[in-house]
Amino acid sequence: MAVGVFDSGLGGLTVLDAVSRRLPDVPFVYLGDNAHAPYGVRTPDDIFALTCAATERLWEEGCDLVILACNTASAAALKRMQETWVPSHKRVLGVFVPLIEALTERQWGDNSPPREVAVKHVALFATPATVASRAFQRELAFRAIGVDVEAQPCGGVVDAIEAGDEMLAETLVRAHVEALKRRMPHPQAAVLGCTHYPLMQHVFAQALGPDVRVFSQADLVAESLADYLVRRPEMLGPGTEAKFLTTGAPRAVSDRATQFLRKPVTFEAA
């Protein structure tokens, strides 16, 4: 009954932590492609190939359902995977859907025409590849009209977080927020479009100010997954063991993950 969680590095651990708390009886297999991180500066074809390879590895672990806890992979690879690659008895889901449901206050199954929503000015903070894909804006446009999205590619933030350099990450976040606010001085809401960014959520919030609602993905994804598994219990795969896998050096990744989550985490080689 295992479910796979994939990220290019450590950022997906924020999602894993939330889904594990929400679904404590489900064993989750986490795979970090640390050897090839970060994905945010790679080409769409490269991201597609790496994401497919990681997904196949999670299928080998008995995870028929895989969550792409990586916004870059969700933006650059997921649609192509679902349309051309994923077999009918498997499922691969991304992390944009729960976020857009929350922002537009309408369920994904609601196929009525796009309509006006309360939030008109949205700041999107994401990796360069996610911003370039315009996947967030495309999905939002199916459900809402009249929403102005200003996207800020946050170069360097993922690298700093992965390296454990919190001071540099904070400095970069503040710089990126200031850059966005020069183009959109008064956003109503901010979307943290990378699963690494919740670790810097307090910095984003401080830099944006108290009037900006900050949407982070982990808890939204957890609730969405719980609802999905109620509706599709057959997608719980045959795997029974929770584990952490990495394409990088297991000891080094374990040390960084332990610092990341502030509790012991042990990775093994994928």
Q: Which residues are catalytic?
A: 70, 194
Per the CB < 8 A criterion, the answer to whether 257 and 13 are in contact is yes
SS3 13: helix
Per the CB < 8 A criterion, the answer to whether 190 and 123 are in contact is yes
Give the Cβ contact number of residue 229 at 10 Å: 17
Label the pairing between strands 144-145 and 91-93: unpaired
Label the pairing between strands 243-246 and 213-215: unpaired
Burial class of residue 246, CB neighbours in 10 A (0-12, 13-18, 19+)? buried
